[in-house]
Structure 1
Amino acid sequence: MKFTTTVAAAALASWAGLAQAQDTLRLSHQWSEGDVRHQVAQMVADEVAAADVGLEIQIFPSQSLFKAREQYKPLSRGQVDMIVFPLSYAGGLRNAYNLTLMPGLVKNHDHAARLNDSAFMGEIEKIMAEDDVMVLVHGYLAGGFAGTEKCITAPEDVQGLQTRAAGKAFEQMLAGAGASIASMSSAEIYNAMQTGVLDAANTSSSSFVSYRIYEQVACFTPAGEYALWFMYQPLMMNKSVYDGLSDEQRAALDAAAEKAEAFYLEEAKKQDGEARDTFAENGVEIAEMTQEQFDAWRAIAQETSYAAFLEGSPEGQKLLDLALEVE
Structure 2
Amino acid sequence: MTISRRRLLAGAAAAPLAAPWIAGTARAEAKQLKISHQFPGGTIDSGDFRDQLCRRFAAEIAKRTNGALTAEVYPNSSLVKTLAQYSAIRRGALDMTLYPLNYAGGEVSEYNIGFMPGVVTSYEQGYAWKNAEIGKKLTALLAEKGAILVTWLWQAGGVASRSKPILVPDDVKGLKVRGGSREMDLMLKGAGASVVSMPSNELYAAMQTGTMDVAMTTSTSLISFRLEEIAKTLTSFRKKGFFFVFEPLLMSKQVFDSLPKDQQTAIMEVGASLEKFGLDKAKADDDEVVRVYEKAGAKIFELDQAQADKWKAVALNTSWKEYADKSASNAEFLKLSQQVS
Fold equivalence (TM over 0.5): yes
1:250 aligns with 2:264: yes
Q: Secondary structure at the match of 1:71?
A: helix
| Match of residue 119, structure 1, among 133, 136, 145 | 133
Q: Tell me the residue number matched to 1:286.
A: 300
Aligned mates of 2:278, 2:225 — CA distance in 1: 22
Q: Is the 8 A contact 2:156 2:244 kept in 1?
A: yes
Q: Tell me the residue number matched to 1:9.
A: none
Aligned mates of 2:109, 2:52 — CA distance in 1: 29
Per-residue deviation, 1:20: 3.8
Identity percentage of aligned residues: 31
Q: Which amino acid aligns with 1:187?
A: Y
Aligned mates of 2:127, 2:285 — CA distance in 1: 16
Query: Bigger CA drift: 271-280 or 52-61?
Result: 52-61
Per-residue deviation, 1:247: 4.2
Query: Bigger CA drift: 79-88 or 155-164?
Result: 155-164
Distance 1:153 1:59, change over 3 A: same
Aligned mates of 2:206, 2:243 — CA distance in 1: 17
Q: Tell me the residue number matched to 1:32.
A: 40
1:319 aligns with 2:327: no
Distance 1:164 1:257, change over 3 A: closer
Distance 1:239 1:182, change over 3 A: closer
Residue correspondence of structure 1 range 29-178 to structure 2 within 5 A: 29-34=37-42, 35-61=48-74, 62-178=76-192
Q: Which amino acid aligns with 1:30?
A: Q
Q: Which amino acid aligns with 2:281?
A: E
Per-residue deviation, 1:230: 2.3
1:188 aligns with 2:205: yes
Aligned mates of 1:294, 1:73 — CA distance in 2: 34
Q: Tell me the residue number matched to 2:220.
A: 206
Aligned mates of 1:135, 1:293 — CA distance in 2: 33
Per-residue deviation, 1:53: 4.1
The normalised TM-score by structure 1 is: 0.84
| Match of residue 310, structure 1, among 324, 336, 340 | 324
Q: Is the 8 A contact 2:159 2:216 kept in 1?
A: yes
Per-residue deviation, 1:235: 1.1
Distance 1:210 1:53, change over 3 A: closer
Q: Is the 8 A contact 1:88 1:98 kept in 2?
A: yes
Q: How many residues align?
A: 311
Per-residue deviation, 1:275: 0.6
Residue correspondence of structure 1 range 201-280 to structure 2 within 5 A: 201-280=215-294
Q: Is the 8 A contact 2:55 2:73 kept in 1?
A: no
Q: Which amino acid aligns with 2:204?
A: A
Distance 1:55 1:225, change over 3 A: farther
Query: Bigger CA drift: 269-278 or 205-214?
Result: 205-214
Distance 1:181 1:25, change over 3 A: closer
Q: Tell me the residue number matched to 1:7.
A: none
Q: Is the 8 A contact 2:146 2:253 kept in 1?
A: yes
Distance 1:79 1:288, change over 3 A: same
Structure 2 residues not aligned, in runs of 5+: 1-20, 43-47
Q: Secondary structure at the match of 1:80?
A: coil
Q: Which amino acid aligns with 1:31?
A: F
Distance 1:115 1:192, change over 3 A: farther
User: Which one has more relative contact order, counting CA pairs under 8 Å at least 6 apart?
Assistant: 1
Aligned mates of 2:250, 2:165 — CA distance in 1: 37
Distance 1:273 1:30, change over 3 A: same
Q: Which amino acid aligns with 1:309?
A: Y
Per-residue deviation, 1:138: 0.8
* C-alpha RMSD of matched pairs (Å): 2.7
Q: Secondary structure at the match of 1:156?
A: helix
Cα offsets for 1:250-299 (capped at 9, x unmatched) = 34323321221111111111222111111122333322222222222112
Per-residue deviation, 1:46: 0.9
Query: Bigger CA drift: 257-266 or 182-191?
Result: 182-191
Distance 1:299 1:63, change over 3 A: same
Per-residue deviation, 1:128: 1.2
Aligned mates of 1:79, 1:285 — CA distance in 2: 45
